[in-house]
Amino acid sequence: MALRSINFPGIGTKYELVTEKDDTIAIFFLKNGNIQMYTLPHDGQTPCVAELTTAEARRLGTIMTGAIMEADKESVEIAFSALSDLRISIHTYVIGKSMAGRCIEDHQIRAKTGVTIIAVSRGDTNIVNPPPSFMFQEGDAVVAIGETDQLKTFEREFMVG
C-alpha cells in the first residue's frame, strides 16, 4: 500500500493510494473545501469520480473505519478514564409502530430503563434534548444515552415486539 501526497498549486492537495490489488484511489482536497475522490481499477482506463462535501467525506471516513455497522445500530462508547473509568454508551434506534403516537413521558423510558433520549432525527430536522412531552412518530431516529446494561434493557423493553 503506497500512499503519497502531492501539492497541486491552485487546486489543492492530492493523496494517492495504490492498493494491494493494484487499484488506485486518488483523493483531492480542493481549495473550495470540497473533496473529489477518483477510483481506478487496475485493469481499467477510465476512473470513476465522486465529489463530496466536507461533511459527506467525514461520514464516508467514519464508515470506512468500521464504526458504523448499520444505520439504525450506530453506537459509540465513551470512556472517561479520569472519572474512575466512567463508561457511557450512545446508541441510535429507529422508532417502530409500537412506540409511535405516544410521548417520552408516556413510555416512562427513564424510569423503566435509566436511558435518556437526547436527540431525535425526523426527516431533515434534528431535535436535541426533546422535552418529555415529545411525541414519537414511526421512523424517527432517536439517540439514546446510558450505560451498556441500561441500553440493553431499553432494547428489551421497547425495541422488541
Among 1, 21, 43, 46, binds another protein (CB under 8 A): 46
Nearest residue to 120 (alpha-carbon basis) of 143, 152, 86: 143
Residue pair 85/79 in contact by the 8 Å Cβ criterion: yes
Taking the C-alpha atoms of residue 107 and residue 157, their distance in angstroms, rounded to an integer, is: 10
Instruction: Select from 1-9, 65-73, 84-92, 138-146 the region that touches another protein (CB under 8 A).
Output: 1-9
For position 14 contacting another protein by CB under 8 A, the verdict is yes
Taking the C-alpha atoms of residue 37 and residue 12, their distance in angstroms, rounded to an integer, is: 13
DSSP tag of 61:
H
**List of residues 6+ apart from 13 with CB closer than 8 A:** 5, 6, 7, 28, 29
Residues in the interface with another protein (CB under 8 A) total 23
Residue whose CB is less far from another protein, 15 or 134: 15
Residue whose CB is less far from another protein, 33 or 132: 33
Among 15, 23, 30, 153, binds another protein (CB under 8 A): 30
For position 26 contacting another protein by CB under 8 A, the verdict is yes
* Closest approach of another protein to the CB of residue 22, in Å: 11
CA atoms lying within 13 Å on the CB side of residue 137: 6
Among 1, 20, 45, 133, binds another protein (CB under 8 A): 45
The interface mask with another protein, positions 112-131, x = CB under 8 A, is: --------------------
Task: Identify the residue whose cell numbers are 439514546.
Answer: 144
Taking the C-alpha atoms of residue 15 and residue 103, their distance in angstroms, rounded to an integer, is: 49
**Which residues of this protein are in contact with another protein, per CB under 8 A?**
6-11, 14, 16, 18, 24, 26, 28, 30-31, 36, 38, 40, 44-47, 49, 51
